[in-house]
Structure 1
Amino acid sequence: MTDSRIWNHMLSKVSPLFVAFAALLLGVTCMVVFAETASAHGYIEAPASRALQCSQDLNTNCGQVKYEPQSVEAPGSFPSGGPADGHIAGGGVFPELDAQSATRWNKVTINGGTNTFKWHLTAPHATKEWKYYITKKGWDPNQPLARANLELFCSFNDGGATPSNKVTHQCSVPTDRSGYHVILGVWEIANTPNAFYQVIDVNLVNGGSGEDLPTVPANVVSPSQTKTSVTLNWSASSSAIGIKEYEVYRNGQLVGKTTGTSYTDSGLTANTSYTYTVLAVDTAGNKSSSSSALTVKTSNDSSVYPAWEASKVYVTGNRVTHNGVVYEARWWTQGEEPGNADVWVAVN
């Protein structure tokens, strides 16, 4: 009997049930292998990560990660390995997550000290370790996130164990910095070369002494006035998480908001004094204290005189407006502020 006839004869004796069982066993084996290499996924649900907030519509224009916040997977062994600088947040998979500025992402307010970090694993996996990093003091939130910006503050070694679907860690967040910071959580897988990356945008509160509030707007002045309007200018405030806007108050009542450092208040009455204050609001909604009050008077003259300029030369008879008052120069002058120098006399 030839070899082919022998082989065909043997196959004819194999039970169809055995063939079906073998096929099923092969399929299960493939499923297990695939699960071990591809199905580990998870995200940080508290404090809510940047990716999770995309799925919750608290962050917008996020791209595909909106539908799969659990899938920010990239090479592991961070920081010696892992995604390239500038692509850490998105893992090289979701580039929209890599956008970085002081105002781009919604922030979660947390206090320094002990915090609970909760992962939700949609597919648990044998785990090497968990690591948590935070941006350093003085980092620039308007630059791409890089390894040099980050420092490790908490880690847990699982030694290859497979966790449950919910993983909770207690970590002490640094108390020596405040304002906008990014926390990076890394889930290192034990039996694949990959890891999962989750960044959290936080408004970190420490100290409780007001150091987390925006600075007070300074140098509030009124460079020009008309019979029905007053224009205000001031110096920009600062905040570690960025300034969102300024609120302008007239006689203690909010009259407007602006993202810039100037504002024109209109619809006023001629020859009338108004008192203004300005405060700054950061991207987390924190408000500064009010600026020093400035009292300004609208004009009562049919002529509109130019605003006083410190660098300009004035001679006898020149008229200017300054903080709502019209002044006339009594002699040659430069750099002497109306209202604070005898060379100027108020004429209205």
Structure 2
Amino acid sequence: MREMGLSSARKTWKLLALALIVTLVPLCAVLLVPSQGAQAHGSMSAPISRVYACYLEGPEHPQSAACKYAVSVGGTQPLYDWNEVHILNANGRHRELIPDGKLCSANNPKYGAFDTPRTDWYTTRLQSGAQYTFQYRVTAAHRGTFSLYITRNGYDPTQPLKWSDLEGPFLTATNPPIVNGAYQMTGTVPAGKSGHHLIYSIWQRSDSPEAFYTCSDVSF
């Protein structure tokens, strides 16, 4: 009888140990994955934003000089958190909350490297005055409005980006469709553009005061 009792106890402890392992293994896996941010929701993918382009190069081993620079300044975490360049309580007060020179980071020091004025950020070629399907890679869908701005003629990419450098918005889209994991917004690229420019996007949620921001380098 005693042997049967011990056997039963061993089985109980084995079951408890197995249950503990089943519970802890997924938790450990989550803790080991780089943070994606509690409020991580997306970034411009076409034309690709600075931070998303660097993420796709690989946070641990970026290839381009610009992305290597970004990692040397801010580490790899901003690239893993490519989809959370945001302000939680923006509520449309973008110009009030983001000073000149801090537009690409949304005035968040974590992403400060992406405010750096340099000409070798990944650049998408566009045709001035042509139709283009803008895409915004989304990791959490929300209702809201996208507003796209472009730099004025004479923009100097070697100088910090200021609000006065922007014109527009040339395209706005409210609750656009999601296709293959990205919001799709078709519009006309402003005419009369040549050389290096920058497209700035603001995604202001309508179900929250939160807003997201991106900088995409383009050339004509």
TM-score (norm 2): 0.67
Matched, 1:192 2:205: no
Equivalent residue number for residue 69 of structure 2 = 61
Matched, 1:73 2:81: no
Which segments of 5 or more consecutive residues in structure 1 lack a partner in the other structure?
A: 1-37, 205-348
Matched, 1:85 2:85: no
Q: Percent identity?
A: 29
Contact 2:177–2:184 (8 Å) recurs in 1: no
Matched, 1:175 2:188: no
Equivalent residue number for residue 121 of structure 1 = 138
In 1, the alpha carbon distance for the partners of 2:113 and 2:190 equals 28
Map Cα deviations across residues 83-107 of structure 1 (whole Å, 9 max, x no partner): 2211110112210110013x24121
* Deviation for aligned residue 1:124: 1.2
In 1, the alpha carbon distance for the partners of 2:171 and 2:100 equals 21
- 2:101 counterpart letter in structure 1: G
Map Cα deviations across residues 225-284 of structure 1 (whole Å, 9 max, x no partner): xxxxxxxxxxxxxxxxxxxxxxxxxxxxxxxxxxxxxxxxxxxxxxxxxxxxxxxxxxxx
- 2:189 counterpart letter in structure 1: V
In 1, the alpha carbon distance for the partners of 2:209 and 2:97 equals 10
* Deviation for aligned residue 1:172: 0.9
Q: 1:162 to 1:105 in 2, by over 3 A?
A: closer
Map Cα deviations across residues 170-226 of structure 1 (whole Å, 9 max, x no partner): 12111202010000111111132221111110112xxxxxxxxxxxxxxxxxxxxxx
* Deviation for aligned residue 1:82: 4.2
Equivalent residue number for residue 251 of structure 1 = none
Which segments of 5 or more consecutive residues in structure 2 lack a partner in the other structure?
A: 1-37, 58-63
* Deviation for aligned residue 1:53: 1.1
After superposition, residues 151-170 of structure 1 pair within 5 angstroms as 151-152=167-168, 153-158=170-175, 165-170=181-186
- 1:133 counterpart letter in structure 2: Y
Contact 2:136–2:183 (8 Å) recurs in 1: yes
In 2, the alpha carbon distance for the partners of 1:172 and 1:135 equals 15
Equivalent residue number for residue 146 of structure 1 = 162
Equivalent residue number for residue 106 of structure 1 = 122
- 1:55 counterpart letter in structure 2: Y
Map Cα deviations across residues 23-42 of structure 1 (whole Å, 9 max, x no partner): xxxxxxxxxxxxxxx53510
3-state SS in 2 of match to 1:52? helix
In 1, the alpha carbon distance for the partners of 2:203 and 2:55 equals 20
After superposition, residues 325-340 of structure 1 pair within 5 angstroms as none
Greater fraction of residues in strand: 1
In 2, the alpha carbon distance for the partners of 1:172 and 1:124 equals 24
Contact 1:126–1:162 (8 Å) recurs in 2: no
3-state SS in 2 of match to 1:133? strand
* Deviation for aligned residue 1:51: 1.0
Matched, 1:134 2:147: no
Q: 1:107 to 1:76 in 2, by over 3 A?
A: farther
Contact 2:39–2:84 (8 Å) recurs in 1: no
Residue-pair matches, total: 163
* Deviation for aligned residue 1:125: 1.7
In 1, the alpha carbon distance for the partners of 2:187 and 2:212 equals 19
3-state SS in 1 of match to 2:68? coil
Give RMSD over aligned pairs.
Answer: 2.2
Larger Rg computed on CA atoms: 1
In 1, the alpha carbon distance for the partners of 2:79 and 2:131 equals 29
Task: List 4+ stretches of structure 1 deviating above 3 A.
Answer: 78-82, 161-165
3-state SS in 1 of match to 2:187? strand
Equivalent residue number for residue 50 of structure 2 = 50
After superposition, residues 7-18 of structure 1 pair within 5 angstroms as none
Contact 1:125–1:162 (8 Å) recurs in 2: no
